[in-house]
Structure 1
Amino acid sequence: MNLRPRRDPPAPGQESVWDFPRPARVESTASCLRVVFAGRVVAETRRGFRAIETSHPPSYYFPPDDVETALLVPASRRTLCEWKGGAAYHDLVAGDRRAVDAAWSYPRPTPDFAAIAGYFAFYPGRVDACFVDDEPVTPQEGDFYGGWITRALSGPFKGPPGTQFW
């Protein structure tokens, strides 16, 4: 039996992922978001969105105009989010490097997530580096969620073994 963990008290300037809503919500962010792969910036924006949900670090969504979409190759993987709808995945290919299912998008999200239709999100653990306002991101553990952990967040975070039913 997996019991809900105790919320880590946030330090000054932090927000707790346990204060994030359920169901999930998407909100715009003016933070500078950046993804680096194979020695190049493949996505960078100040016009992104973040999806937040109880116990999860945010995942960030980039407008297609701010992504090197020529480096994204459609993959066969598909998943279904109870909040956002059906996700399509993309491999990231640059030179001789390929990151399988490194990015995902919601071509036709649910109405509450219409703002991110066609935007791209990236797994920070499948690329070389991700940044929020020049701070390197720590990838959320596990291979399903693609959250970006920064010093501005307190946990604990869903993702490691034993947290599936939080």
Structure 2
Amino acid sequence: MKAIWRGTVVAESDDTVVVEGNHYFPAAAVKAEYLLPSNTKTMCSWKGQASYHTLFVDGDANPDAVWFYPDPKDAAAEIKGRLAFWKGVQVVE
């Protein structure tokens, strides 16, 4: 699977975990040079608290387009150490 934004591959892995239709990539498969920290946090009743990154590619920012669960609840343990994408990021085979 590949995560692509504005024509740039920002993550690539054949080891994704699909939860609620979203592919969670291993952290090592995401190109850190495209990530900027974000202070945004949200809460999911069964996964726990999510944190976010802003994607930054060729001078363009996509705020909070990447999310992850630093300490997921037991029901979502399989996504620990993984990141997912939205907000216009294409995830394709």
Q: TM-score with structure 2 length normalisation?
A: 0.90
Moved over 4 A (4+): none
1:91 maps to which residue? 54
Structure 1: unaligned runs, 5 residues or longer: 1-32, 53-57, 134-166
Q: CA deviation at 1:39?
A: 2.5
Secondary structure of residue in 1 paired with 2:78: helix
- Paired residues, number: 93
Q: CA deviation at 1:122?
A: 0.0
RMSD between aligned residues: 1.3
Work out whether residues 35 and 54 of structure 2, in 8 Å CA contact, stay in contact via their aligned partners in 1. yes
Q: TM-score with structure 1 length normalisation?
A: 0.53
Q: CA deviation at 1:35?
A: 1.0
Q: CA deviation at 1:72?
A: 1.1
Amino acid at match of 1:113: A
2:91 maps to which residue? 130
Structure 2: unaligned runs, 5 residues or longer: none
1:48 maps to which residue? 16
Higher strand share: 2
Q: CA deviation at 1:40?
A: 1.6
Secondary structure of residue in 2 paired with 1:115: helix
Q: Partners in 2 of 1:86 and 1:75 — Cα distance?
A: 14
| 1:132-147 equivalences in 2 (<5 Å) | 133=93
Identify which of structures 1 and 2 has the higher relative contact order when contacts are C-alpha pairs closer than 8 Å and 6+ apart: 2
Work out whether residues 47 and 69 of structure 2, in 8 Å CA contact, stay in contact via their aligned partners in 1. yes
